[in-house]
Amino acid sequence: MTGPAAQDSAHPAIARWQGADGEILIGGRTLRQVAREVGRTPFYAYDRGRISDRVAALRAALPEGVRLHYAIKANPMPAVIAHLAPLVDGVDVASAGELARALEAGLDPAEMGFAGPGKTDEELAAAAVAGVLIELESEGEMRRLAAIATERKLHPRVAVRVNPDFRLKGSGMHMGGGPSQFGVDAEAVPALLHSLAELPLQFEGFHIFGGSQNLSAESLVTAEREIAALAIRLAAAAPSPVRYVNIGGGFGIPYFPKDQPLDLAAVGAGLTDVVRDIRSALPEARVVLELGRYIVGEAGLYVCRVIDRKVSRGQVFLVTDGGLHHHLAATGNFGQAIRRNFPVAIGTRFGAPAEETVNVVGCLCTPIDLLADRAALPRAEVGDLVVVFQSGAYGLSASPTAFLGHPPPGEILV
Ligand SMILES: *Cc1c(COP(=O)(O)O)cnc(C)c1O
């Protein structure tokens, strides 16, 4: 429970933003200027300078030889993909739609990986024709792709997505370990590779992703060490030299007051041995780290307008034109076990001291449409703009925009 004394503006994720004349600045422009440019509220604004800075920080911290991929599913806005295209070494796509966006951005198909369960025959064919690396999630998928390859006289590039036999500790969302829809169980990989050798597929290597939203450098490095060891072990059963090892990623960003930002320098230092081990065992392998949230998450804001201010049984409600139909994660309904507030501020009274405790709600007819539960904020009036921070990843594209039939939000890269 947050009391009025709690200083939400002290959240490090908010402190990294500057204001001028009481308004938050985005890419050097005031919030109201950006709102005028978008032409409506609500909207998402992404700060291109912050995205570039984050990639530069990664480049500085990661050992030489690590290829940095952007996982498009974190934020598939075409302008964001286009901005990142020259900054990263490749991208990861997870649907034919993302593949099309990556190709439209002019990215090199040779540097694209396509992972994800349930790829349709059409998606497999599109990926094979484009020449992207297809990350096989199961034996059935491998056989369907081989049939497509035979029929269409293609020779698709493939990697095997492995469901590891260990779990990434400290990860907000597990995507490997026990039984899983993702990847081929590590213990079944040697037999799969044996079959693969007979098929019209070009084997390149392995993709092992342990989980998402991890804030612990130590557990990330431990997981990457195990991932590297697993890839090296499985390489003994490979039909040809391993040329690709995707070691996943899962670097997290701080959302909640107790979250400590990831110690990137420690991760980079810890990965030095990991990369060296892979390179000495598998000298032809390119080592890929794929990140989504960490690259774009902190660069994005969700902005909505206060439409009504009401008091109900002693509690203040700021009713906005935004909500979970645009930003499901901020309402705690996108995979979070416990609902906690994302960092929130009144962007048109930026830097003003907290004066009252309020609930910030959306405009949907459901009680789960709650953007901030008893947050300490300056007094806001109708027309003020609410800003939700840490909203650059898994925002708009991870929200049920059709729910209740409101218009979609605007989106701008500033
Ligand atoms: C979602 C996903 C990512 C991106 O995860 P982030 O936590 O956003 O970095 C990377 N790889 C795979 C396989 C994924 O499914």
Could you state, in order of their start, the residue ranges of all structural domains in the chain?
Answer: 12-47+298-413, 76-291
Cis peptide before 353 (omega within 30 of 0): no
**CATH topology identical between 12-47+298-413 and 76-291:** no
339 CA distance to ligand 1 centroid (A)? Answer: 22
For ligand 1, pick from 136, 163, 209 the residue to mutate: most ligand atoms within 8 Å of CB.
209
Contact 329, 394 (CB under 8 A): yes
385 CA distance to ligand 1 centroid (A)? Answer: 31
What is the predicted pLDDT for the residue at 68? Answer: 98
Cα–Cα distance measured from residue 363 to residue 383, given in angstroms and rounded to the nearest whole number: 15
111 CA distance to ligand 1 centroid (A)? Answer: 16
For ligand 1, pick from 54, 212, 216, 390 the residue to mutate: most ligand atoms within 8 Å of CB.
212
What is the predicted pLDDT for the residue at 171? Answer: 62
pLDDT digit string (tens) for the chain, length 414 residues: 344 444 456 788 999 999 999 999 999 999 999 999 999 999 999 999 999 999 999 999 999 999 999 999 999 999 999 999 999 999 999 999 999 999 999 999 999 999 999 999 999 999 999 999 999 999 999 999 999 999 999 999 999 999 998 776 666 656 567 899 999 999 999 999 999 999 999 999 999 998 899 999 999 999 999 999 999 999 999 999 999 999 999 999 999 988 999 999 999 999 999 999 999 999 999 999 999 999 999 999 999 999 999 999 999 999 999 999 999 999 999 988 899 999 999 999 999 999 999 999 999 999 999 999 999 999 999 999 999 999 999 999 999 999 999 999 999 999
268 CA distance to ligand 1 centroid (A)? Answer: 18
Say which residues have a Cβ less than 8 Å from residue 391's Cβ, sequence separation at least 6: 44, 297, 300, 301, 302, 327, 329, 330, 342
3-state secondary structure of 134: strand
What is the predicted pLDDT for the residue at 152? Answer: 97
377 CA distance to ligand 1 centroid (A)? Answer: 33
**Apex 169 CA angle, 165 and 174, nearest 5:** 70
Q: Which atom of ligand 1 is nearest to the CA of 211?
A: 7
28 CA distance to ligand 1 centroid (A)? Answer: 30
> pTM here?
0.96
335 CA distance to ligand 1 centroid (A)? Answer: 14
CA quadruple 270, 273, 279, 282: dihedral sign: negative
Q: Please give the structure tokens belonging to residue 247.
A: 């070691």
Contact 176, 167 (CB under 8 A): yes
236 CA distance to ligand 1 centroid (A)? Answer: 27
What is the predicted pLDDT for the residue at 2? Answer: 40
Give the single-character DSSP code of 88.
Answer: S
Q: Which atom of ligand 1 is nearest to the CA of 393?
A: 8
CATH of 12-47+298-413 given 3.30.365.10, 2.40.37.10, 2.40.50.100, 3.40.630.30 = 2.40.37.10
- The residues lining ligand 1, judged by C-beta closer than 6 Å to any ligand atom, are 71, 73-74, 92, 115, 209, 212-213, 249-250, 290-294, 393
What is the predicted pLDDT for the residue at 184? Answer: 98
283 CA distance to ligand 1 centroid (A)? Answer: 26
Nearest CA to ligand 1 atom 4: 292
Nearest CA to ligand 1 atom 13: 209
For ligand 1, pick from 213, 246, 290 the residue to mutate: most ligand atoms within 8 Å of CB.
290
Q: Which atom of ligand 1 is nearest to the CA of 209?
A: 13
Q: Which of 313, 326, 330, 314 is nearest to 364 (CA)?
A: 326
What is the predicted pLDDT for the residue at 210? Answer: 87
Buried b (16+ CB within 10 A) or exposed e, 21-48: eebbbbbebbbeebbeebeebbbbbbbb
For ligand 1, pick from 55, 69, 70, 92 the residue to mutate: most ligand atoms within 8 Å of CB.
92
166 CA distance to ligand 1 centroid (A)? Answer: 18
What is the predicted pLDDT for the residue at 4? Answer: 41
Pairing type for strands 157-163 and 133-136 reads parallel
CA distances (Å), origin 317, targets 60, 158, 302, 308: 44, 53, 19, 8
Nearest CA to ligand 1 atom 12: 209
User: Hey, how many other C-beta atoms are within 10 angstroms of the C-beta on 60?
Assistant: 10
Nearest CA to ligand 1 atom 15: 116
For ligand 1, pick from 51, 55, 73, 162 the residue to mutate: most ligand atoms within 8 Å of CB.
73
76-291 topology per CATH: TIM Barrel (3.20.20)
Cα–Cα distance measured from residue 291 to residue 281, given in angstroms and rounded to the nearest whole number: 24
